[in-house]
Amino acid sequence: MKYAIIGSGVAGIAAIDAIRSVDRSGEVVMIGDDPHGFYSRPGLAYYLTGELHDKALYPRTTDEYRKMNFRYVKGQVKNIPRETHQLKLDGQADFNYDKLLIAVGAQAIPLDVPGANLEGVFKLDHMNDAKRILKHARRGKTAVVVGGGITALELVEGLLARGMKVHYLLRGSRYWGSVLDEQESRIVEARLQMEDVTLHHHTQLVEVTGKNKRVSGVRLADGGTLTCSLVAYAIGIRPRLELAKQADLRVERGILVNEYLQTSDPDIFAAGDIAQVYDPLTGRSALDSLWSSARGQGFAAGLNMAGKATVYVKSTPFNVTRLAGLTTTIIGVVGGGQDEDLVGIARGDSETWRQLPDCMVAQTGFDVNHLRLMVGEQRLLGAVVMGDQKLSFPLEKIISENIDISPIREKLLNPKSQIGDVVAEFWGSLRN
């Protein structure tokens, strides 16, 4: 059996692990166009701030790769003639496959304003982007960040850590309004202001200005200007669908796959940021840009490629991240509203989070420790935990396992209740 995997991210690596758990002798080839191969994409935030060295972003050793027994080809697939089960590579020999996984991920939606191609305008998609940002960041100089979601904040914090003065432009009235509620947005914004970030609400960038082909400033919709030497943006990501469209696979926002991660061609699978995955529990297909989701999808796809039929059951979207230095866990359905700073989904984001559930909201805490629960009729639908993380694991279990919360529902919705204590006591009784 010949297996081909396009893409060197976590979904592709997980697929090889799965294939090797079933088939020790089949030929496995991974084709990737990222010059740095497989590394932790979420770790780039800590590389930008200087908390991690780039070498710490590589989770596997040469020995571990050797034991996985696969061939890595550095290159780019130009097209997929499905009728002959071939991959056409740019400047290299064709490769035949029996089963194929497309796991090429997503890319940053480009900044579409005049001057966006000047030297000093950056996105944060890959290791190369992070290295270019660090090379350009200058202590004491000024940067402008545009966008929403986790990546925009990673850019703000990374540039701050490198000694730059940062202006953060928000088109709407608050930060990440599609996931956070107003109080949570204000907590993040207050912490940014404490770090001397200058926030600009209701502000739209319309042009990047330059001198000698380098960034010198930005022009705003209200006619104002800001002087800066660096512009960084994170306005959303878009699955890399060119290959799938060329191969005439079914696509919507991503490549449509069934519960076995199969595309409209039964010999071609898709996983990770590129896959629009069918969820048999809800009957919907959704995009996730979460490291854990990509890993789970890749592993399930690998098992199916190797002949071990495995239904991928979409897990409750769960992410532990850092927002303005504050550890934050987001679980399940938490929809906050609209977000003018993002076009579609963002990295570290899930379409499921953005759904607005039919539920009651229980909320407690301010500033550093904050808890918001989305309370359904008999179960918790979602949670946001900021600061103290003792309840994040119990809440993830209660939400993902659909545990009946009827015994504590009234207490959770009582405005005088300490909902953290209610959850902790309930979790203790479940464990006992």
What residue segments make up the domains of the chain, in order of their start?
A: 2-107+238-305, 110-235, 318-431
- In the block, which residue shows the tokens 């432009």? 169
Tens-digit pLDDT profile for residues 299-343: 999 999 999 999 998 888 889 999 999 999 999 888 766 678 887
Mean pLDDT over residues 174-191, rounded?
Answer: 93
CA angle at 31 for the pair 30 and 32, rounded to the nearest 5°: 115
| pLDDT at residue 217 greater than cutoff 70 | yes
CATH topology of domain 110-235: FAD/NAD(P)-binding domain (3.50.50)
- pLDDT single digits (tens) 88-145: 998 888 899 999 999 999 999 999 999 999 999 999 999 999 999 999 999 999 999 9
- Which CATH homologous superfamily contains domain 318-431? FAD/NAD-linked reductase, C-terminal dimerisation domain (3.30.390.30)
Give the pLDDT score at 279.
Answer: 74
Parallel, antiparallel or unpaired: strands 27-32 and 106-108: unpaired
Element (H, E) at 27: strand 27-32
Percent over 70 (pLDDT), the chain: 96
Q: What is the pTM of this model?
A: 0.92
H or E element that contains 380: strand 380-386
Pairing of strands 106-108, 165-169: unpaired
What are the pLDDT digits (tens) for 133-145?
999 999 999 999 9
Q: φ and ψ at 7, to 5 degrees?
A: 120, 135
**Interior angle at CA 84, CA 80 and CA 90, nearest 5:** 35
CATH number of 2-107+238-305: 3.50.50.60
Same fold, 2-107+238-305 and 110-235: yes
188: Cβ–Cβ under 8 A, 6 or more apart, which residues? 153, 175, 176, 180, 323, 324, 326
